[in-house]
Amino acid sequence: MNQKELSGLSLQELKNKHTAIKILVWILAIVLMGSFGFFIFISIRDGLTPLIAVPFALATILPLNFKNLKLIKTEIASRTQ
């Protein structure tokens, strides 16, 4: 997400985007933890399965979204001061 893209949005659009990304990030984190637990359960019951790598692969999305949240939050803070 570019700084120019953020500066082109209104304050209300930034707040809406921040809220939406925050909700989606937490939902993704909960789903990843659940799938990780489920795949561990499957691995214990049936033996080691390569599906255990899926939550780790998808977890790389989380830091990018947290970075975007931080950028949006700083843009909102700079506009409200």
2 and 67 in contact (C-beta within 8 Å)? no
Q: Which residues contact 17 (CB under 8 A, 6 or more apart)?
A: 9, 72
Q: Quick one: pLDDT at residue 14?
A: 92
Domains in the chain: boundaries:
33-81
What is the per-residue pLDDT across 1-11, written as a single tens digit (0 to 9) for each?
Answer: 555 688 888 99
Q: To 10 degrees, the CA torsion angle through 38, 40, 41, 42?
A: 90
Digit-coded pLDDT (tens) for 51-64: 889 999 999 999 99
Sign of dihedral through CA atoms 32, 35, 39, 40? positive
Contact 42, 49 (CB under 8 A): yes
Distance (Å, whole) CA 72 – CA 1: 9
